Amino acid sequence: MQDLGWRFVATDEPVVAIHAGTPCDRADLVAAQAAGDLVVRVPLVLDAAARDQLDDALLQHSATLCAYNFALGAATRRAVDRLSGNPGYRFTAVQMGWIGFGPTGSARDGWKPIASFGRGYQPRGSNWRAIEAFYSGQVRSECGVGRQIAQYATQAELYGAKAFDAEFDSDEIVIGTFNRLHDTRSILLGSSAGRFARDGRAVAAAQAGRQAFMGLPGFIFHVFDRSALDDLNNQAENFVVYDVGADAADALREHGGFEHYNERNREIWSLAKSLPGRKPARYFERLLHERDPVLRAALPAQAQATLSRLDTELDDPFYRHFLIYVHRQGVKPVGYHIARLLDRNPRTPFRIELALHNLHTTLYERYVAYRLEECARQMPRGPDIVDNARR
């Protein structure tokens, strides 16, 4: 608990007092502790039964999950920074198989095939080495595999190389088509995934606070059917949440999650569709995200009011400060992706949703169990929580 951020203060009071605060609303653990969150006041005399009761209360406390989310968010950002910083990790082009490891094959990069046509792989040996292939190797995949790798790499960064290899079997680290993962032991979608959180519209995450979003997987996808698509390679974007600004979190809480913004996405699409003229490459990306002054000045007077309405919509903190990682776009705010998809598939609006995930259920429980086991091995018998609080 101390490693996660709880602070224990010895007191003359007769009972334990847990002052959790609102850590999920803070930017990081330092800010949470500065605000007085995550404090436990512990009586100088505490018997074994009371200590066990306190342990159970803290393990089940929602603030402990928030504290874990600080570590999870930091691990996500370390993983994503390395993935997006590798120019050798590219998006699928013409290649043999769903995932392309190049002419040297998957073995050199620490993976072995478990399905035909490159549709499934698992580590040959070290899980960490297999992840490192995407940090520094020459690999191709589409954004769905990019999301899977970001999710596995987050766990790798959270545990560290040695523990990531020891705590997860190699057949729990599987990449490939999402359908393929369901038939494996994958910790993402297979038999090792355990219990899923179902919060597609982000209602629960928005209520919990900004840290509840860290590392969560999701996708942006077309509303109308496939007949409205012009670019099948950009019919959807898979992502993990990289970071969430305080104002974006406040906006999501105020509006109760993503559904408000899915309605705004449709309004943005409708307004953009009404702008006149032939649209050159990356038109909306340049007009609405980059705010190219030349493109803006070229719009006729009657279109300037529409542009102003689009600016107002996209100036919402959610579009500016809800940051997601999409392979191969890197880390960008949601507003960038909405503008980009107006260029790629202008005949349909897009929605954003969270995917099924177990970051706050099975993977959280596994991590806590691992840390408790580590603490038990490292801590000598004798000193208890009260002794630590006195120091």
Q: What is the pLDDT of residue 93?
A: 53
Indicate if 154 and 289 belong to the same structural domain. Answer: no
pLDDT, residue 97, reads 63
Q: What is the 3-state secondary structure (H, E, C) of 144-213?
A: HHHHHHHHHHHHHHHHCHHHHHHHCCHHHCCEECHHHHHCCCCCCCCCCCCCCECCCCCHHHHHHCHHHH
User: Are 239 and 327 part of one and the same domain?
Assistant: yes
- Looking at residue 385, its pLDDT comes to 52
User: Which pLDDT belongs to residue 382?
Assistant: 47
Q: CA-to-CA distance for 104 and 121, rounded, in angstroms?
A: 15
Give how many domains the chain has, as a whole number: 3
End-to-end CA distance of the chain: 16
Same-domain check for residues 141 and 283: no
Domain identity same for 260 and 165 = no
Which residues constitute the domain of residue 130?
A: 84-194
Query: Is residue 149 within 8 Å of 133, Cβ to Cβ?
Result: no
Residue 102 domain-assigned? yes
What is the pLDDT at residue 391? 43
Determine which helix (DSSP H) or strand (DSSP E) holds 220, and give its type and residue range: strand 217-222
- Alpha helices (runs of H) in the chain, residue ranges in sequence order: 29-34, 48-59, 62-84, 127-136, 143-159, 161-167, 178-182, 203-208, 246-255, 259-273, 283-284, 293-298, 301-314, 317-321, 334-344, 362-378, 385-390
pLDDT of residue 354: 98
Please name the amino acid found at residue 212: A
Closest CA relative to residue 71, chosen from 135, 134, 194, 154: 154
- Identify whether residues 325 and 242 lie together within a single domain: yes
Task: Give the CA count within 13 Å in the CB-facing half-sphere of 337.
Answer: 30
**DSSP element (H, E) containing 330:** strand 330-333
The pLDDT assigned to 102 comes to: 77
Contacts of 131 (CB under 8 A, 6+ apart): 149, 152, 153, 156, 164, 173
Element (H, E) at 111: strand 111-115
Same domain, 253 and 349: yes
Averaged pLDDT in 10-residue chunks for the chain of 391 residues: 94 94 97 97 92 93 97 98 96 69 87 89 97 95 96 98 98 96 97 97 98 98 97 95 98 98 98 94 97 96 97 98 97 98 97 98 97 84 50 43
Output the CA angle 190-193-199, nearest 5 degrees.
110
